Each structure stands twice: as structure tokens, then as C-alpha cells.
Amino acid sequence: MIQIFEEGDDSGIVVKNQFMGKNVAILFPMTREKKVNLFRWEKLISTVNLSNVTALVLIDKTPFYQATEYFAQREKQILANLIIFQRPRNEPTHDSQSLIKLENGLWIIQMHDDDDWEGHLEIPLGTNENSIVRTDFFLVSGGTSKKVTDPNWPDCRSIFSLLPSIVWNRFASLISEQGGHVAGSIDSSLNIAVSLIEPKHMSTAFKYFYDNRHWDSRKLSKQHLIRLTKEDGWGDFATIEMSLVSRAIDGIASLIFFSDLYSDNEFRLQIKKWISATKPHILRTYLKKFEILFLVLGKNLLKVGGPYKLAKLRRSYSNSILYRRILVSAWEAEEIEDYLEIVEVLLGFQYLPLLQSRFYFWQRELKRKCS
């Protein structure tokens, strides 16, 4: 069976568990055109047919929806239900995922069309309905691959694991409740929550090879972070520092959102660890404080003519003051209450319309643990 949701159709779906027992759904976002990625499309079909897969869910953002045409033609050769969401090319992949929920008895794994994989997918014996199933994970850099032995690293690890319906459906709700637009670091936020959820199993029948090209060097990482932050809607605040503040707050809010799936003690320990891990080196904070201070002073002394330029200058100066206040507060924050104060500052700033729903979500979740 095939179901196609055309662009603009946001009705979503609950993926059915068509067979008895515990089964797998594959989520495959697609951006690359057929002529450069046909071999991976064919490999995906082969993996589905070799595995215990009940549903193949495609997010098609290829030019002119080439993937929809190709997979629709191959429908009878795919031993799983085929579900295709046609989405705008400029929509972040995670934003699309709020449309997908699972019936009980299903586990879902995400695979990307610029990565590689080997083997077949399975749910190990003894897995219960809350179990996280990790797969063998490799980082690929410069043509060489290295096996990752830490089951909770890198930050994106969880989306390439088999997540049970109870976890995936919570993740889809996490996206929806932020207004359908989430931070690019949401995979990191999911990962720190998943790291606390037990039990965990390991499936060595499947190897996933993650293309680390965006994070292969400090320079590439900076460029990628700034681009993602601009696309996210941070406007004048689209800096590496602000992306890290966003990541810190989103991680805390997400830990709270999932908190009924682990103990209070585990939550408190993880919050403390997370806050510490998201702080930059102390030398970097001092240098950045001076840099922003001189930026503010320079804009204050700058002479411009005309009412339009003066208004623009005042806004720029005001932004710089606010920017410094947010960063310094984040660097000095130690408790959830400290981050709540930052969120309330952000809520009072009206130049970030794409992020307002997210700020309200952050405020709501942080208040839950401050009351």
C-alpha cells in the first residue's frame, strides 16, 4: 500500500503496526536528485526487504519530487507499506517529523541519503516497549570510518537508533509544541534525554556510517553552525555563541519534557552535567565579553545622519546590549531559574518572530521545574 501526502497537507499519520509482534519503521528524508543518489535508493529498498520493516516513510524534498515518482513505480517491489510526505525544500527535516507518529509495537530509525549503512534491522530478543536499540555507529571523515564506542555520542546518535513508539511520539510532540519549528540542535536535545531512558539494547546486525563532513574541522563547524542559526531565524543574533545558548536551553527544556520516563535523581544529575558541558572555556568568555563591550561602545559613538539611519543605529545598539546581557547571563547560569530569566528576556524581544513559539515552550517547561 502507498500513501502520498502532497506539499501543504499537514494532516499527518499514525503509522500502523501491520504485523504481529515488534517491528521496524524506517524514516528516510530525501534531498538529493535521482541521478546522484539512485544507488542509495536501490540500497534502501534492499535493506527494507531484508529486514523486519513494516513501513518505509519518505520525506521527499527532491527537485520536482523525483523520489515520489521513483518509489511509486517500485511500490510492488517494496515489502513494506510506503508512506511519502512531499515537503518544501527549505523546511528543516526535523520540522517535518512532527507529522509522523507510531502505533505501539513499532520502533523507528532515521537514515539519511548522504550516509551509508550495512546489514539488516531487527528488534533484539528481550526488548520491551520502552527499550532503546542502538546500532553499530561509525563516523566517516575524509574517506575513513571510525567506530564509535560511546553509545550516547555523538549528539545525533539517537535519531540513528531504533526508538520505540513511546519515545518517538514524545519527540514528535516536542516538535509540535514548539510551533512546529525547532532548533537545529534538537537531535542533541533528544539524545541527552534518550541517554537516561532504560533499558537499552545493542543490535550488531546493522552498521550505520554517518558522514561527518559538516563537523570535520573547526572552520567547517563554525560555518555550518552560523548557517543553521541564520536559517533558524535568529536574525542579528545568528552567531555561534547564540547557537550554543539556544542548545543549552533547548536541552534543559527537552529533559524536562521527557522527565516522566526517568527518575528525578537521574534528571537532576543530568541537568547539572548538561549545564556544565554547555559552558565555553573561561578564557573564551572573557575575550567575548570584551569584544562585545567594544562593539557596543563603538556603535554608541558612531555618527550617522538621517532619521532612518539613526533608528537603525539605535536598534543595532540595543541589540548589542541585549546580546551581551544574554550571553553573560548564560555563561554565569547555574540553575534552571537562571535560564528561565534568559528566556523571559528573549520573549520581550520582538525581532525574532520565527522563534516566539519556541520561547514560550521553553518558558513553560522551565517553569515546571521552578515551581
Q: Average pLDDT for consecutive 10-residue bins of the chain (371 residues)?
A: 96 92 95 94 97 96 96 96 96 95 97 96 92 96 91 94 98 97 95 96 95 76 85 87 93 98 96 90 53 52 42 53 82 94 89 93 96 66
Q: Of 225, 252, 245, which is closest to residue 323 (Cα–Cα)?
A: 245
Phi, psi of 141 (to 5 degrees): -135, 125
Q: Which helix (H) or strand (E) holds 175?
A: helix 165-176
pLDDT in tens, 21-70: 899 999 999 999 999 999 999 999 999 999 989 999 999 999 999 999 99
Same domain, 210 and 70: yes
Q: Report the pLDDT value the prediction gives residue 288, as an integer from 0 to 100.
A: 56
Q: Of 248, 252, 243, 236, which is closest to residue 349 (Cα–Cα)?
A: 236
Q: Report the pLDDT value the prediction gives residue 210, as an integer from 0 to 100.
A: 96
Work out how many domains the chain is built from and give that number.
2
Q: Report the pLDDT value the prediction gives residue 327, as an integer from 0 to 100.
A: 85
Same domain, 174 and 302: no
Same domain, 189 and 234: no
Structural domain boundaries enclosing 290: 218-370
* CATH for 194: 3.90.550.10
Same domain, 48 and 186: yes
pLDDT in tens, 182-225: 999 999 999 999 999 999 999 999 999 999 876 676 777 788 88
Yes or no: say if 361 and 268 are a contact pair by the CB < 8 Å rule: no
Q: What residue type is 24 in one-letter code? A: V
Q: What residue type is 156 in one-letter code? A: C
Same domain, 198 and 58: yes
Same domain, 71 and 205: yes
Yes or no: say if 221 and 155 are a contact pair by the CB < 8 Å rule: no
Q: Report the pLDDT value the prediction gives residue 50, as an integer from 0 to 100.
A: 96
Q: Report the pLDDT value the prediction gives residue 349, as an integer from 0 to 100.
A: 78
Last-in-domain residue among 215, 240, 265:
215
Same domain, 209 and 224: no
Last-in-domain residue among 154, 189, 215:
215
Same domain, 201 and 170: yes
Report the alpha-carbon distance of residue 160 to residue 253 in Å, rounded: 22
Q: Report the pLDDT value the prediction gives residue 323, as an integer from 0 to 100.
A: 79
Look up the pTM and report it.
0.90
Same domain, 100 and 175: yes
Same domain, 336 and 194: no
Q: Of 262, 96, 105, 109, which is closest to residue 192 (Cα–Cα)?
A: 262
SS3 316: helix
Q: How far is residue 302 CA from its own chain's centroid?
A: 40
Last-in-domain residue among 166, 189, 215:
215
Same domain, 161 and 194: yes
Same domain, 91 and 115: yes
